Copies of this chain bind each other. A is one copy, B any other.
Amino acid sequence: MTITISIDCMGGDHGPSVTIPAAISFLKKQADVHLILVGLEDTIRAELRKHHGEGHSRITIKNATEVVTMDDPIEIALRKKKDSSMRVAVELVKDGSANASVSAGNTGALMAVSRYVLKTMAGVDRPAICSVMPNQKGGPTYMLDLGANVDCEPHHLHQFAIMGSVLCSAMEGNPRPTIGLLNVGTEEIKGNDVVKATGLLLKADHERGKLNFHGNVEGNDIFKGTVDVVVCDGFVGNVTLKAIEGLSRFVKSVFTETVLSMAGALLARKSLKKLNPERYNGASLLGLKGLVFKSHGGANAYAFEWALQRAYQAAKYDVQEQLSALIAELMPTSPGQASQA
């Protein structure tokens, strides 16, 4: 089966100069992929020519006359720019023309447009943003929510755990991913009321053999690789993610400070690859009736290709179907009520 991915070619800090070369390179690696390049047709064609990709049999161009900028407020993206590359790319998932969509555009706009176009999956109250980070065990740690929901109730966090578990299971071929609840300590009595109540919901699922709940984890466990999936609300997740990015940038700046430090980084480059955030680009907007992936806005072509790879895998490994099945099983009644009972 061919996997079709629609790409918002205009999104991100760099637009087509990043998305097009990434698309061409990705096609070379995956034979069973078809790409729909969405955006200003002339611009896309010009960029394809530059990279000798014109006329590729597995590329379709879909014209879209507007572009959502990185600074556009959500309302503009949603109500004014109805023919934006971002929206058209997501609509291709909605109408079944694409199995997944990828954009490097602004996160708030992409989430709003995706929710509006695709709607939220049955049994899910709120979609969440899930990304992966490298850990010391050499594997990825899945973490969600990274900013879609700043105020969460226990049943929201419970749903995030289910969604993160399914995503990790499908993407990593791990039948029972361990789930950790991000907290200020590992003991059950730790944390605020929302986190404590969430712990009880997850424990109940664990005892029924439905989820593999490890218990509470702390901030350092993200990088230790203590669990496969780390669950938190979008406020904590967003602040933590950005603090991590800030520290990474600081470390990088230190290594480009002097000739000696640059030489040091060069010597250590093989080991440093482990920390390369570009390899971990591509966050999933989970809980929608369709697959949407968000690339970092500042991604280069190498990093954007990783986001394409994640979207491809999610489609190939039937993340949507598995998600629907587990949500239906764990939340048989209407959203929120089952988990709160």
Give the interface of A toward B (CB within 8 A): 134-136, 147, 150-151, 182-184, 190-193, 195, 218-224, 232, 234-236, 238-251, 253-255, 257-258, 260-261, 263-272, 274-275
- Find out whether the CB atom of B236 lies under 8 angstroms from the CB atom of A219: no
Chain B residue contacts of A135, Cβ below 8 A: 250
**Chain B residues near A244 (CB-CB < 8 A):** 219, 243-244, 247
B192 touches A219 (CB 8 A): no
Inter-chain contact A250/B264, CB cutoff 8 Å? no
Q: How far is the CB of A183 from chain B (nearest CB, A)?
A: 8
A232 contact set on B, CB distance < 8 A = 239
Between-chain CB contacts (< 8 Å), 19 pairs: A151-B192, A182-B239, A184-B239, A191-B235, A195-B235, A219-B241, A219-B246, A221-B246, A223-B246, A223-B250, A236-B239, A240-B243, A243-B244, A251-B251, A255-B268, A260-B267, A261-B268, A261-B271, A264-B266
Shortest Cβ-Cβ A-B pairs, 6 listed: A219-B242, A264-B268, A220-B246, A219-B243, A264-B267, A261-B271
Query: What copy number does this chain have within its complex?
Result: 2
- Measured in the bound complex, the distance between the Cα atoms of B252 and A272 in whole Å is 10
Complex contact B253–A239 (CB within 8 A): no
State A33–B40 Cα separation when bound (angstroms): 71
Note all chain B residues with C-beta closer than 8 A to A268: 254-255, 260-261, 263-265
Q: How far is the CB of A195 from chain B (nearest CB, A)?
A: 8
**Cβ of A218 to closest chain B Cβ, rounded Å:** 5
Q: Which residue of B lies closest to A240 (CB)?
A: B243
A200 to chain B, nearest CB (A): 17
Find chain B residues with CB under 8 A from A266 CB.
264
**A257: chain B residues within 8 A (beta carbon):** 271
The interface residues of chain B lying within 8 Å CB-to-CB of A222 are 243, 246
Nearest opposing residue in chain B for A191, CB measure: B150
Give the residue name and chain of the B residue nearest to A189 (CB).
B73
- Would you call B247 and A247 a contact (CB within 8 A)? yes
Nearest CB of B to A111, in Å? 13
Bound state CA distance, A184 and B246, in angstroms?
A: 14
Q: How far is the CB of A300 from chain B (nearest CB, A)?
A: 19
Please tell me if the beta carbons of A193 and B151 are within 8 angstroms of each other in the complex. Answer: yes
Inter-subunit contact A260/B264 (CB<8 Å): no
Instruction: Tell me the bound Cα distance from A238 to B195 in angstroms.
Output: 14
In the complex, chain B residues whose CB is within 8 Å of the CB of A274: 254
From A232, A254, A268, residue with most partner B Cβ within 10 Å = A268
